[in-house]
Chain A
Amino acid sequence: MSTFAAVVLFVGVVAYAVLGGADYGAGFWDLTAGGAERGRESRHLVDQSLAPVWEANHVWLIFCLVMLWTGFPGAFAAIMTTLYVPLGLAALGIVVRGSGFAFRKVFVRTEQQRVVGAAFAVSSVMTPFFLGTVAGGIASGRVPTGGHGDPVTSWLNPTSVLGGVLAVLVCAFTAAVFLTAEARRREEPGLERRFRVRAQGTALVTGAVALAGIAVLRADAPRLFDGLLGRALVLVVVSGLCGLGALVLIRRAAPRLVQGLAVTAVGAVVAGWGVAQYPYLLGTHLSIATAAAPAPTLVALTVVAAAALVLVVPSMALLFVLQQRGRLEG
Chain B
Amino acid sequence: MTPASLVAQGATVLAADPSQLLPAREQMAFTLGFHIILVPFGVAFTFLMLIANYRGIRRGDDVAMLLARRWSQVAGVLFAVGAVSGTVLSFELGLLWPGLMGTYGAAFGIPFAIEGLFFFVEAIFVAIYLYGWKRMAPWPHFWTGVPVVLAGIGGTSSVVAANGWMNQPDGFTVRDGRVVDVDPWGVIFNDAFWYEALHMLLAAYMVAGFVVAGVYAVGLLRGRSDRYHRLGMAIPLTVAAIVTPLQIFVGDVAAREVARNEPAKFAALEMVTETGTHVPLLLGGAMVDGEPRYVIEIPSGASLLVGYSPDTRIAGLSEIPADVRPPDHLVTTVHLAFDVMVGIGFALLGLALWFAVLWWRRRTVPENRWFLRAVAVSGALTVVALEAGWIVTEVGRQPWTVVGYLLTREAVTTTGNVWLFFTATLVLYSAVGAGTFYVLRLLRRRWRDGDAADAGVPYGPSRAREPVGRTEPGE
Instruction: Mark A residues whose CB is within 8 Å of B.
Output: 47, 51-53, 55-56, 58-59, 61-63, 65-67, 69-71, 73-74, 76-82, 84-85, 87-88, 90-92, 94-99, 101-108, 116, 147-148, 151, 293-294, 296-297, 299-301, 304, 307-308, 311-312, 315-316, 318-319, 322-323, 326-330
Whether A293 lies near B106 (C-beta < 8 A) is: yes
Whether A106 lies near B439 (C-beta < 8 A) is: yes
Within 8 A of A (CB), among B113-151: 113-117, 119-121, 123-128, 130-132, 134-136, 147
Chain A residues with Cβ below 8 Å from B87 are: 58, 61-62, 91, 94-95
Nearest CB of A to B276, in Å: 42
Nearest CB of A to B254, in Å: 27
Chain B residues with Cβ below 8 Å from A73 are: 101-106, 109, 179
Closest chain B residue to A72, Cβ basis: B105
* 14 examples of A-B residue contacts, CB within 8 angstroms: A59-B119, A65-B90, A69-B105, A77-B99, A80-B101, A84-B415, A84-B416, A85-B416, A88-B95, A95-B87, A99-B435, A316-B124, A327-B135, A330-B131
Closest chain B residue to A149, Cβ basis: B415
Nearest CB of B to A82, in Å: 8
Whether A300 lies near B180 (C-beta < 8 A) is: no
Nearest CB of B to A51, in Å: 5
B84 on the A face (CB < 8 A): yes
Whether B81 lies near A81 (C-beta < 8 A) is: no
Nearest CB of B to A186, in Å: 14
Whether A327 lies near B94 (C-beta < 8 A) is: no
Chain B residues with Cβ below 8 Å from A297 are: 106-107, 109-110, 182, 184
Nearest CB of A to B45, in Å: 16
Closest chain A residue to B460, Cβ basis: A330
B91 on the A face (CB < 8 A): yes
Closest chain B residue to A317, Cβ basis: B124
B312 on the A face (CB < 8 A): no
How many A-B pairs have beta carbons closer than 8 Å: the answer is: 250
B11 on the A face (CB < 8 A): no
B54 on the A face (CB < 8 A): no
Chain A residues with Cβ below 8 Å from B125 are: 315
B425 on the A face (CB < 8 A): yes
Chain B residues with Cβ below 8 Å from A323 are: 131
Whether A56 lies near B127 (C-beta < 8 A) is: yes
Nearest CB of B to A264, in Å: 23
Chain B contact-residue range equals 35 or more
Whether B135 lies near A94 (C-beta < 8 A) is: no
Closest chain A residue to B132, Cβ basis: A328
Within 8 A of A (CB), among B64-105: 76-77, 79-81, 83-88, 90-95, 98-99, 101-105
Which 7 interchain pairs have the tightest Cβ spacing? A73-B105, A70-B109, A77-B102, A105-B458, A80-B94, A293-B106, A98-B84
Closest chain A residue to B119, Cβ basis: A59
Max count, chain B CB within 10 A of own CB: residue among A53, A101, A296 = A296
Complex CA gap A102/B87 in Å reads 16
Q: Is the interface of B mostly helix, strand, loop or mixed?
A: helix
Closest chain B residue to A108, Cβ basis: B453
Whether A66 lies near B109 (C-beta < 8 A) is: yes
Whether B113 lies near A97 (C-beta < 8 A) is: no
Whether B95 lies near A87 (C-beta < 8 A) is: yes
Instruction: Mark B residues whose CB is within 8 Å of A.
Output: 76-77, 79-81, 83-88, 90-95, 98-99, 101-110, 112-117, 119-121, 123-128, 130-132, 134-136, 147, 179-184, 413-416, 421, 424-425, 428-429, 432, 435-436, 438-439, 442-443, 453, 456-460, 462
Complex CA gap A84/B117 in Å reads 26
In the complex with contacts A56-B123, A102-B76, A62-B116 CB distance below 8 A: yes
Whether A328 lies near B116 (C-beta < 8 A) is: no
In the complex with contacts A151-B416, A297-B107, A297-B109, A80-B98 CB distance below 8 A: yes
Whether A328 lies near B80 (C-beta < 8 A) is: no
Whether A328 lies near B131 (C-beta < 8 A) is: yes
Complex CA gap A85/B121 in Å reads 31
Complex CA gap A301/B179 in Å reads 16
Whether A307 lies near B84 (C-beta < 8 A) is: no
Whether A329 lies near B116 (C-beta < 8 A) is: no
Whether B132 lies near A148 (C-beta < 8 A) is: no
Whether B432 lies near A59 (C-beta < 8 A) is: no
Partner of B102 from the list A76, A296, A307 (CB cut-off 8 Å) is A76
Whether A65 lies near B135 (C-beta < 8 A) is: no
Chain A residues with Cβ below 8 Å from B439 are: 102-103, 106-107
Complex CA gap A94/B126 in Å reads 19
Nearest CB of A to B356, in Å: 37
Max count, chain A CB within 10 A of own CB: residue among B87, B99, B459 = B87
In the complex with contacts A55-B123, A80-B95, A106-B77, A47-B458 CB distance below 8 A: yes
Complex CA gap A116/B458 in Å reads 14
Complex CA gap A104/B436 in Å reads 11
Besides A52-B127, A55-B80, A80-B94, 11 other A-B contacts (C-beta < 8 A): A51-B127, A51-B459, A65-B90, A73-B106, A73-B179, A94-B88, A96-B428, A147-B98, A296-B181, A308-B117, A329-B131
Whether B136 lies near A327 (C-beta < 8 A) is: yes
Chain A residues with Cβ below 8 Å from B457 are: 105-106, 330
Chain A residues with Cβ below 8 Å from B456 are: 105, 108, 330
Partner of B90 from the list A62, A98, A322 (CB cut-off 8 Å) is A62
Complex CA gap A328/B88 in Å reads 28
Complex CA gap A147/B416 in Å reads 13
Chain B residues with Cβ below 8 Å from A59 are: 116, 119-120, 123
Complex CA gap A96/B84 in Å reads 8
Whether B113 lies near A84 (C-beta < 8 A) is: no
Closest chain B residue to A85, Cβ basis: B416
Chain B residues with Cβ below 8 Å from A108 are: 453, 456
Chain A residues with Cβ below 8 Å from B88 are: 91-92, 94-95
In the complex with contacts A81-B413, A91-B91, A76-B105 CB distance below 8 A: yes
Nearest CB of B to A2, in Å: 12
Complex CA gap A58/B83 in Å reads 9
Closest chain A residue to B92, Cβ basis: A91
Complex CA gap A78/B90 in Å reads 15
Closest chain A residue to B84, Cβ basis: A98
Whether B102 lies near A74 (C-beta < 8 A) is: yes
